[in-house]
Amino acid sequence: MKINRPLSPHLTIYKPQLTSSLSIFHRITGAFLASMFLFTIFIIKVCDLSLSIYPIYWFVFELQPTNQFNWILFGLMLLVLLAFSYHMSNGIRHLTWDIGFGLDLSKVYLSGALAICSAALVASVTITCLIWFFR
């Protein structure tokens, strides 16, 4: 792959606006989701391969579901859920732009607010269902 791209804009020297922040967070959440996905599979495989080592055995044992509420796992799950719902709703917004719909500035701001609201809605509904069914 032979490409020569210009330098990406530095995030700290621009005034944060809704449009730019949403775009930046789309990339950040995408990278976060990708790294979490790959890291989880990698960790599961490593733990599976080396269960005979005591610290890893202890780690896997501690991760098992018990009656006690696991705050770390819950927080991590919540973060992943928020990132996923935001990435999905903003991705739908990007797809509508690629079709050629809603490219005016007012519509862009409106769809950005809509994307944030729908991401919050999806995340809250999913977390409520999860707590309801698995408490």
User: Which residue, 49 or 117, is less far from other proteins as judged by CB?
Assistant: 49
Of 11, 18, 31, 113, the residue at the interface with other proteins (CB under 8 A) is 31
Of 23, 91, 116, 126, the residue at the interface with other proteins (CB under 8 A) is 91
Decide: is 14 part of the binding site for other proteins (CB under 8 A): no
Of 11, 34, 113, 131, the residue at the interface with other proteins (CB under 8 A) is 34
Of 11, 41, 73, 103, the residue at the interface with other proteins (CB under 8 A) is 41
Please report, as residue ranges, which positions from 46 to 85 form the binding site for other proteins (by CB under 8 A): none
CA distance 48 to 57: 9
Residue of 73, 49, 52 whose CA lies nearest to 62 = 73
User: Which residue, 18 or 95, is less far from other proteins as judged by CB?
Assistant: 95
- What distances in angstroms separate CA 26 from CA 3, 85, 95, 106, 124, one per listed residue? 23, 11, 13, 20, 19
DSSP letters along 86-127, please? HHHHHHHHHHHHHHT---SHHHHHHHHHHHHHHHHHHHHHHH
Q: Which residues bind other proteins (CB under 8 A)?
A: 1-5, 7-8, 27, 30-31, 34, 37-38, 41-42, 44-45, 88, 91-92, 94-95, 98
